Every structure is written in structure tokens, then in C-alpha cells.
Chains A and B, each alone.
Chain A
């Protein structure tokens, strides 16, 4: 994907983002409610250094494993059970982050 030699995945993500943007804009413009009867309100996230450092680290793992958490699950059940080890390692990574969180720059 990061050799930019194939359009396919960019087309998928691009379409997904456009679909998301349009639908969220419609929800906001028309002040739509959820099925539970509440107005839909999306709280934005505050920026911290993890958005930079964590993202870089994620990017490395993303290329090595060829997946982020969602696709990992799909790969496991699709026919690559060894990816279960990848997923368990990801849980270990998350756990390690949680453990050292206060020592990391935010």
C-alpha cells in the first residue's frame, strides 16, 4: 500500500471516509436522534503527544503485520489462525502501554 503502486486500498478508505463525512454531516445538519431517543452528539478528542508517537509506532506494526486490529480479526476467521498470535501480541502491547502510560510523554 505504501509503495503507492495500487489504487484499490486508497479507493476503499477514501470511499469509507467520504461516506462517513457525508453521513455525519447529515446527522449534524438535521439534528438527528439515535434509536435510544437521544440527540447524537460526538465529543471530539483532545490532542496529546501520543497522537504523534503512538501513531508512528502503530504505523510500523501496521506494515509488519499487514493489519490493524479489525482486519486481524477478519484474517483469523477467514483462514489464517496464526494471526491469533498477532492479535494476542497486540493485546500484550496494549497492556504494556497501559502499564507504562504514566511514564510516557503525552
Chain B
């Protein structure tokens, strides 16, 4: 029982980081594949919704491995949710806790604030913005940027590509501006 308790606590950052980073060489060794989870969004469009759009007309089936990778993430999440959930509230700093509380977020027992992320939120304007608009911006932005955190942040930086560094800097710029200016406004919408 003791081992399970240790494993159920949030894992240390250096272990998580290592496990994430090691996917880069593993994919390269498997078959010269670049890590890029966001590409799956493009592959799914190519597979199901290509229409007349040139961007989605390519041999997506050769990238099936990436969809398997994504399936792996689903399986991993499922196993973590079944066996590795921590009974403790989410681990954020005291200062963040105070700020989020002031902005109207009170649920810290789970990984995501369920006040925002639940089915009933979808019919509220706030929920719609966070879930649908937020998701849309992620999907649009990631393809426009040619990648996401995994492809630019991990694969690109691992290969010391300056274009990925530029992308990361602007990911964070967008993120910082949103956190400090947009988020307080949006959390107040009902």
C-alpha cells in the first residue's frame, strides 16, 4: 500500500520532465519521427473533413503513427485517472490560490476548476468562451504556428531550431498577456 501512496502523489517535476523529453529520442529512434502532437489535429481534418482544402490533401495515412501516439495519451490519461489520482487539492502556490479565489474560482479539489470545465458550463457565455473559443484558438493558432509545445517546445528546441524559440516566446507572450489582462475579465462573466 505504501508504494501506491507514493505513486499517487504528484510526481516530481524532474521525473515528469524526463518522461516527456525522452519521447523525442524514442520517436527518432523508432523511425526518424518528429514529435508533434498538434499535427494530429491536421491529420484528423485530413481524414474526415478535407473537402477541397489543399492544406488537408496529403498522405495523412503515412502519419497514422501519430494518431496511435495520441491514442496512447488517451490510454495514459485513463490509467492515471483510474490509479494515480491524488486525494489532495491541486498543487498551486498560495499566491495563485488567493488571486484565483478573488476572481471567483473556488474549486481547487481537482486538476481543472470544475466550475468552468463541466458540461453545464457550455450553455453559459463564460463556459462557452473558455471551452469552445479557447479550444478553437488553440487549434487555429497551433497550425498557424506550425506546431505546439511538443513540436516547437520539445522537438524544435531539442534540435536547437531558432524558429521554435521564436514560437515559444510568442506562445508565452500570448499566455502572459491573457493571464494578466484577459483572464480576470473573462472569469467575471456569468
Residues of A within 8 A of B (CB): 1-3, 5-9, 11-21, 23-24, 26-27, 32, 34-36, 38, 40-42, 44-48, 50-70, 72-83, 85-99, 101, 104
Evaluate contact between B153 and A17: CB separation under 8 angstroms: yes
Partner of A69, one of B41, B121, B122, B129: B41
A-B contact count (CB 8 A): 376
What chain A residues lie within 8 Å of B171 (beta carbons)?
55-56, 58-59, 62
B62 on interface, CB distance cutoff 8 Å: no
Of the A-B pairs whose beta carbons lie under 8 Å apart in the complex, a sample of 28, sorted by A's number, is A1-B175, A12-B20, A17-B21, A17-B154, A17-B158, A23-B25, A23-B158, A24-B25, A24-B159, A55-B169, A59-B176, A61-B136, A61-B139, A63-B175, A64-B137, A75-B112, A82-B131, A91-B45, A92-B139, A94-B38, A96-B140, A97-B55, A97-B139, A98-B45, A98-B55, A98-B143, A99-B55, A104-B144
**Which residues on A sit within 8 Å (CB–CB) of B155?**
20
Q: Knowing A5-B93, A94-B139 touch, does A45 contact B164 (C-beta < 8 A)?
A: yes
Q: Tally B residues with Cβ within 8 Å of A.
A: 105
Q: Which residues of A contact B95 (CB under 8 A)?
A: 3, 5
Contacting residue for A57 out of B32, B132, B141, CB 8 A: B141
* Contact partners of B166 in chain A: CB under 8 A: 47, 51-52, 55
Is B92 a contact of A6 with CB atoms below 8 Å?
Answer: yes
Residue from A12, A51, A52 within 8 A of B17 (CB atoms): A12
A51, B117: Cβ atoms under 8 Å? Answer: no
Specify the main secondary structure of chain A where it touches its partner: helix
Identify A68's interface contact among B38, B121, B176, CB under 8 A: B38
A20 touches B118 (CB 8 A): no
Question: Which listed residue (B34, B44, B131) contacts A42, Cβ 8 A?
Answer: B34
Binary A-proximity of B139-163 (CB < 8 A = 1, otherwise 0):
1111111111110011111111111
| Max chain A C-beta neighbours (<10 A), residue from B14, B153, B159 | B159
Q: How far is the CB of B148 from chain A (nearest CB, A)?
A: 5
Give the chain A neighbours of B148 by CB distance below 8 A: 58, 68-70
Interface string of B91-111 (1 = CB under 8 A from A): 111011001000000000011
Residues of the B chain whose Cβ atoms lie less than 8 Å from the Cβ of A12: 13, 16-17, 20
In whole angstroms, what is the CA distance A87 to B29 when docked? 29
